[in-house]
Amino acid sequence: MPKVLVSDPIDQVGIDILSQVAQVDVKTDLSKEQLVEVIPEYDALMIRSGTRVTAEVIEAGRNLKIIGRAGVGVDNVDVPAATRKGIIVVNSPEGNTIAAAEHTLAMMLSLSRYIPEANAKLKQGKWDRKSYTGNEVYNKTLGVVGLGKIGAHVATVARAMGMKLLAYDPFISVERAEQLGCSLVELDVLFQSADYITLHIPKTPETANLINADSIAKMKPNARIINCARGGIIDETAIAEALKAGKIAGAALDVFSSEPLGESPLTALGKEIVLTPHLGASTEEAQVNVAIDVAEQIRDVLLGEPARSA
Ligand code: NAD
Ligand code: MLT
């Protein structure tokens, strides 16, 4: 019987699917070294964003046929190294779209109305109404950077809330943007005009540090930035300094250049920043979707059937 290692928390439904065809071992607290040590015995590896599947892990995985990422981004997998060894890498491109889009909208509203800090204060017994006069999103301009699956859903809901929409995405047609109610503009125009800027792009060499001191300097003083895409698209030092200096009004971040987030200038800031620990995909519905999606692909490959690769 083939063996599957599940090295990040995955919904039970995925484990049940894999158990039909394989022995499934769930080991979610392996160190880097332990992973390299155990991986030779496995035919398949199923992960979320916690496990880093480096070239070293892939090299050690002499029986590995497939790596399944229960989520969208495969940026924690060295895909070129896997491809060189003929190991298939699969993901779930759509299973958590709604979860990530809804988290983005929740972050935007939390930031606008200072909900996390007001909530924390009230739980400490303080009835403070005067510190938390927020802003409405109605009639404000939302700039969507990346109008793919998540960006499109965010745009659709934001439009229903009465927001005006700008979008920047070099790979999307004007017709598609218009269908979503967005005016497609150059990135600098979006930076200069938006009250809210939300990022829904992959992290690539082109998008690394896209939000930096220079791009922040183009934004309005009331601009608020939301990043539920990938850490490293924002220069965290630059954004912390801009918030401290009042150059922009706020930021809501779910993802960080290094995760888990350790010591960071971001955590010392106040109500102008909202931070969540990479929770974009963390809904029961999304975790069931991605677990089924990826477990079925792994099962099929272990049964010798063709795969849909990432
Ligand atoms: P998608 O592929 O559907 O959309 C990405 C869009 O970005 C595409 O339309 C593409 O044309 C565009 N794009 C690519 N490079 C660009 C660039 N340089 N400038 C502007 N646009 C560019 O992906 P998606 O499913 O919408 O996911 C978006 C991001 O959200 C990914 O980074 C994904 O990993 C991340 N994500 C995070 C969570 C979370 O837990 N926080 C959950 C799901 C997805
Ligand atoms: C993804 O790319 O799908 C997300 O980062 C979700 C996750 O971490 O599970």
Which tens digit of pLDDT belongs to each residue from 104-129? 999 999 999 999 999 999 999 999 99
pTM of the model: 0.96
pLDDT at 310 over 70: no
Q: Is the CB of 151 under 6 A from ligand 2?
A: no
Q: Is the ipTM of this complex over 0.90?
A: yes
pLDDT-derived band at 50, boundaries 50, 70, 90? very high
Q: Is the CB of 73 under 6 A from ligand 2?
A: yes
DSSP letters along 113-145, please? HTHHHHHHHHHTT----TT------TTPEEEEE
- The rounded Å distance from CA 76 to ligand 2 centre is 10
Mean pLDDT of the chain: 97
**Active-site hit among 153, 230, 236, 299:** 230
Q: Is the CB of 96 under 6 A from ligand 2?
A: yes
Mean pLDDT along residues 62-89 = 97
Mean pLDDT along residues 147-163 = 98
Q: What is d(CA 73, CA 295) in angstroms, rounded to the nearest whole number?
A: 16
C-beta of residue 90 within 8 angstroms of C-beta of residue 284: no
pLDDT of residue 309: 56
Mean pLDDT along residues 284-290 = 98
Q: Which of 108, 144, 169 to mutate to test the pocket of ligand 1 (most atoms within 8 A of CB)?
A: 169
Give one word for 146, left, alpha or beta, with left for phi > 0 and alpha for psi -120 to 50.
Answer: left
pLDDT at 180 over 70: yes
pLDDT-derived band at 242, boundaries 50, 70, 90? very high
pLDDT at 231 over 80: yes
Q: Which atom of ligand 2 is nearest to the CA of 71?
A: 3
Q: Give the DSSP letter of residue 81.
A: H
